Structure 1
Amino acid sequence: MTHQWQRWLGTLVLGWAMGCGGPHAPRVGDNQLVNGSFESKLSGWWVATDSEGGTAQALSSSADEGALGLALFKGTGGWGSMVGQETAPHSAGQTYQLRARLRGQSGGERVSISFHGQGFEVETGPQWQTVEQLVFLPEESKNTTALISVTTDRATVHVDDVFFAPAEVEQGEADKAPENRVHNGSFESGLGMWNFWSSSDGQASTSPDARGSGYAGLVLSLGASGGSSVKQMLAEPVQAGEVYRLEVRVRGARGGEAVSLCLQVNQEPWDGPCLAVPVTDAWGHISGEVTIDEPFQDEPMGVMVSLFSEGSVQVDDVVVVRVQP
C-alpha cells in the first residue's frame, strides 16, 4: 500500500509540474464560411470537377438538418469533384478547426477537406457522421480557399453543416522554444503539419491524455511488426557539417518501446542522423545533438518520430534547433 501511495503521489506531482489545472480545450471562433449548411443552395460556393459527369447540387435528400444539403458526385477519371469558397485572410501560425457532417451514398467514399493547403482525408459511411480536425497554417495568406472534394470514382457524398473557424489553442513547451524549426511540435493543433505512415495496423492521433505540456500530445501505436511514424518537412534545407539539437518527450504504455527521433531526407535512400529514444512508463525528456555527416547541399529534410515495437507511446514537444554553424 505504501508503494502504491508513493507512486500515486509522484504521478500527481509530475502532473502539477507538466500543466497545473488540467488541459484547456481550444476556444473556437465564428464560422468563416457563408452558407455552410447549403440552405441558400450553392450561393457563396464555386464548383469544379475534372471528372467526366461530375456534379454538385443542393438537394433536400442530402440534408442532415434543415431543408437542403450538398450532393457531391465524382464521375470517372480526373482527381475529383469539389466545391470551394474564398474566406477572410489569416495570420501566420494560426490554427483553424475544420468540421462537416458527411454521409456516403454507399459508404467507403473518400473525401478531402482542406483550408489553404492544410487539411485531412476521411472515408465516409452510409450513416451521417461528424468529421473534424484542427489544422495549423504556417504562413500568412490574404487569399485563402476552403475546399471539400470527393475523390472516389462514380461516388456520391452528402455534405451538410460545414464549419471552418479560427481556434485559440494552449501552447506547449515546443511552441515556446526559441528557434524551433518544427511547427505544431506540441501537437496542440492536432496532427496539423505532420504526415503519418505505418507499415502495418499502426495509428496516430492526438489526445489531452497524451500531453506532456500544453493541451494535447501524440499517441503513436503499432501492431505486431513494421513501424509507425509521423514526419514533418522542415522549412529550410540542411547543409553538410551542420549540428542540430533534437528534443522530445516520450512515455510508453509499458516501457521499453523502441522509439527513434531522426532527421531524414525525403527521398531514397532515406538517409539522416537519428537519436535512439529510451522509453519508460513515465515521462522522459530526451535531448541530444546530431551532425549532418552526409555531403548534403541545400537538401530538404524532415524530422521524424518512429515506433518500431508493438504497443503504443505518447509523444510531445518535438524540438529541432540548429546550433552550428
Structure 2
Amino acid sequence: MIHRSIHWRTWSWLGALALVLATGCGEPHAPKVGDNQLVNGSFESKLSGWWAVTDSEGGTAQVLSTSADVGALGLALFKGTGGWGSMVGQETPPHTAKQTYHLRARLRGAKGGERVSISFHGQGFEVETGSQWQTVERLVFLPEASDNTTALLSVTTDNATVHVDDVSFAPAEVERGEADKASGNLVSNGSFESGLGMWNFWSGSDGQADTSAEARGSGYAGLVLRMGTGGGGSSVKQMLPEPVRSGEVYRLEVRVRGALGGEAVGMCLQVNEEPWDGPCLPVPVTTEWGHVTGEVTIEEPFQDQPMGVMVSLFSEGSVQVDDVIVVRVQP
C-alpha cells in the first residue's frame, strides 16, 4: 500500500515494515576544523583579497575602526533600497567532492534584526543579527568537487548596516554516520554530521530543526526536529540527485526516537510542486532508538520527475532523527 505525502491525512502502517532497535556506539568525535581558506578574514588589510558588489541604491562596503570586534578594523556592509543585497566575496582554493566546511563570522547589526546571508559554493545559511556582537557558525556540505569556489557574505535587509569581523571558511573533518557509508544512498549528509547541510527546513508554526551530538544514532550528530505549539507540522527535505519514473521501487530507511514516544512521524518521497504527492513510509516512534525500513513504489505516471526525501513531525514535542537512507531498488 502506498501512502500519500499530504500532511493532513492519517498515517497507517505498511505491512512489510521492519522495526529494529538500534543505539549509537562509542564516543562521538567533534568535527576537526582546518585552516581558514580566506585571505584577510579580519579586514586588517582593509578590502585586500575581497571584492564588493551591490545592486541596491546607495549600498556600500567600508572598512572602519568602529566596525572592529577583533583587531583594529572591521567591515561595515550597508544595503540601500531595492535590489537583492550588498555583498563581499572572494575566490578560495579548490575543494573535493563530499567535503564539509565550517563557516564562521562575528556579526553585529546597527539596530538588530538585520538579515545576513553567508554561503560557499552555493551552500550556506541566513541569520538575523542582534545589536551586540555574536558568533555565527555552521557546517555546510559540498556534494561536488570544484576548482572555482566563491565565499560570499551579504546583507539583504533594506536600509540596514551590519558590522562584520573575523570571517573564516575552513575545511572540516567530520565523523561519518551509517547513512554516509550506505551503498547506493541517494541522500547527501543523511547522518547530519555536516549540520543541516543539503537539507531545507519548513514549519507550519514555530517549529525548529537543529543538530546535536545527543541526537546521534550513529556518527557524531543527529537531527532534533520540533513542532511548535501552533501545529502545522515540521519537516526537513532534500532533493534527490536523480529524477524518478513510474514503476521504480525505493528502499527508505531512518532511525528515530521520541522524547515521549508515540510521536507522529512520516518519511516520504515528495514532488516539489502542488499537488505535494508521492509515496510515504509511516514511522513508529518509541523512546528508544528504532530503525525503520520499507519499500515504496512510484505509482504516479512520472517521467524524469524531480523528487525529494522528506522527514516530518506532525505532533507536538520533539523527535531525534538520524541515518536517512534512500536507495533505488528497481529497476
TM-score past 0.5 threshold: yes
Is structure 2 residue 284 aligned with structure 1 residue 278? yes
**Distance across 2 between alignment mates of 1:170 and 1:73:** 39
Q: Which residue of 1 aligns with 2:311?
A: 305
Match 2:114 to one of 70, 87, 109: 109
- Tell me, yes or no, if structure 1 residue 237 matches structure 2 residue 243: yes
Amino acid at match of 1:211: R
The answer on 1:143 being equivalent to 2:143 is: no
| Partner SS state of residue 31, structure 1 | coil
Give the SS at the match of 1:61.
Answer: helix
Indicate whether 1:296 and 2:302 are aligned: yes
- What letter is aligned with 1:296? F
Structure 1 segment 163-202 matched on structure 2, within 5 A: 163-202=168-207
**2:324 equivalent in structure 1:** 318
- Aligned partner letter, 1:184: N
Q: Secondary structure at the match of 1:18?
A: coil
Q: Which residue of 91, 103, 118 corresponds with 2:96?
A: 91
- Secondary structure of 2:328's counterpart equals strand
Structure 1 SS opposite 2:304: strand
Alignment of 1:25-174 (within 5 A): 25-174=30-179
Identical pairs, percent = 83
- Where in structure 1 do 4 or more consecutive aligned residues deviate above 2 Å? none
Superposed displacement of residue 18, structure 1: 2.0
Q: Which has the higher helix share?
A: 1
- State the number of aligned residues: 310
Q: In structure 2, the residue corresponding to 1:321 is in which secondary structure?
A: strand
Asked which structure has the greater RCO (Cα within 8 Å, sep 6+), the reply is: 2
Offset of 1:226 from its aligned partner?
1.0
Of the three residues 260, 263, 269, the one matched with 1:257 is 263
Counterpart of 2:85, as a letter, is G
Aligned to 1:4: none
User: Alpha carbon RMSD of aligned pairs, Å?
Assistant: 0.9
TM-score normalised by L of structure 1: 0.95
The unaligned stretches of length 5 or more in structure 1 are 1-13
Distance 1:302 1:133 in 2: 23
Counterpart-to-counterpart distance in 2, 1:250 and 1:70? 43
**Per-residue CA shift, 1:237-274, capped at 9, x if unaligned?**
00000000000000000000000000000000001000
> For 1:257 and 1:223, how far apart are their aligned partners in 2?
13
